[in-house]
Amino acid sequence: MARSLYHYRYFDLREVPVAHRHQSLMRQIRQWSPFDEYDTYVVWRKQAAWVWMWDKTRLHTAQQTQAIHTLHILPETLLHPTLQEGAQCVACLEGVEGQLWREHQLVASRWWPQMPCVTEWHIFLRANQFSPETGLPAVVEGDLAARPWAKSAKMDHSALLRDERLWVYVGIMLFVVLWIGEGVPIWELRKGIAQLEQETQQVSEQAVPILTARNQALQTQQQIETLRGLIRYPSQLEIMAKAAGVMPTGAIFESWAYQNGRLQFTVRGQSLDPAAAIRQFQEQALFEDIRAESGRDAEALRLSMRVKGLP
């Protein structure tokens, strides 16, 4: 399946008990899914799950249109080269895929219809706690591999239920064996089994809100980190205050234009010297690439500069 047709997300489940990881992952996938009906390709690595998801309805429609009876889905990403650490941009069947790797774990992936600009690439890096690099990486090109580098662990809700019931039954059988060894009457065995099942149900019910709250907290944290990555520059109010503090007393702003770190403005006042203005702005850590020239008359001064991004 082409990269343009599916979504990817990395789920860190190290804080979830092993016995509850499948159930927790299914719940998080349902919350994340933008589709009413979906299919997934899931790879388990260490204590994390790598999940590729696509629109099941759209795929089913295409399958019927093409009269395809049997279909096996394999995400294109699994046929491209991997990394141990770092970022790479991979040429896909359509567009390009940005990938971020930590300790051989694909922690983030994003698709673009064409090569992203430097700003888009840096936003992607910052949103996933990667330090922005200078410029764009070289695009990794090449033929698709003959075999995927990871296989899916198909998740089935009914299978998970069977697993949970199996553990309950194993516990009940051990309970029965121990009680029979002591010569306990049958009616007491039944009473003990019923009590054990009730306690198991109560523990499961008590764990649900805890796991739900934790998952919501993790999602909120990820959203906060994403927003932090989007806030790349100081506010315009702070920038204007810094610029005003540099200008001579009595000078006023006549025009102001600011967008994506690029600032242009005109000030009006007495005895405005372009060279002196450049030196004064160069002393401010917030500005760089400063240029100044006289305006249409002796009392006007036009300046342009770049605002440095937040660390």
Please give the mean pLDDT across all residues of the chain: 82
Residue 46 CA, chain-centre distance (Å), reads: 19
Residue 169 banded pLDDT, cuts 50, 70, 90: low
Residue 235 CA, chain-centre distance (Å), reads: 25
29, 53 in Cβ contact below 8 A?
A: yes
pLDDT over threshold 80, residue 163:
no
Instruction: Please report the pLDDT score of residue 214 as a whole number.
Output: 72
C-alpha to C-alpha distance for 40 and 73, rounded to whole angstroms: 9
Show me where the domains of the chain are located. Answer: 3-140, 157-230, 236-307
Residue 53 banded pLDDT, cuts 50, 70, 90: very high
Least confident piece of the model among 56-60, 182-186, 248-252, 277-281: 182-186
Pairing verdict, β 86-91 and 139-140: parallel
Residue 24 banded pLDDT, cuts 50, 70, 90: very high
Question: Of 135, 80, 129, which is closest to residue 100 (Cα–Cα)?
Answer: 129
C-alpha to C-alpha distance for 171 and 199, rounded to whole angstroms: 12
Instruction: Please report the pLDDT score of residue 157 as a whole number.
Output: 41
**pLDDT tens-digit readout, 181-235:** 555 555 666 677 777 777 777 776 666 677 777 777 777 777 776 666 556 778 8
Alpha-carbon torsion angle 13, 16, 20, 22, nearest 10: 0
C-alpha to C-alpha distance for 79 and 169, rounded to whole angstroms: 42
Quick one: DSSP state of residue 130?
-
pLDDT over threshold 50, residue 158:
no
228, 126 in Cβ contact below 8 A?
A: yes
**pLDDT tens-digit readout, 77-134:** 999 999 999 999 999 999 999 999 999 999 999 999 999 999 899 999 998 989 887 7
- What is residue 42's three-state secondary structure? strand
Quick one: DSSP state of residue 233?
S
- Partners of 140 in the β-ladder: 90
Pairing verdict, β 48-55 and 38-45: antiparallel
**pLDDT tens-digit readout, 36-49:** 899 999 999 888 99
- Partners of 86 in the β-ladder: 101
CATH topology of domain 236-307: Gyrase A; domain 2 (3.30.1360)
C-alpha to C-alpha distance for 276 and 270, rounded to whole angstroms: 13
Please give the model's pTM, rounded to 2 decimal places: 0.51
b or e along 158-194 (b: 16 or more beta carbons within 10 Å of the residue's beta carbon)?
Answer: eeeeeebeeeeeeebeeebeebeeeeeeeeeeeebbe
Instruction: Please report the pLDDT score of residue 226 as a whole number.
Output: 64
Instruction: Please report the pLDDT score of residue 168 as a whole number.
Output: 53
Instruction: Please report the pLDDT score of residue 247 as a whole number.
Output: 84
Instruction: Please report the pLDDT score of residue 227 as a whole number.
Output: 65
The CB-side HSE value for 58 (13 A sphere, CA atoms) comes to: 11
pLDDT over threshold 50, residue 160:
no
C-alpha to C-alpha distance for 309 and 135, rounded to whole angstroms: 15
Cβ count near 32 (within 10 Å): 15
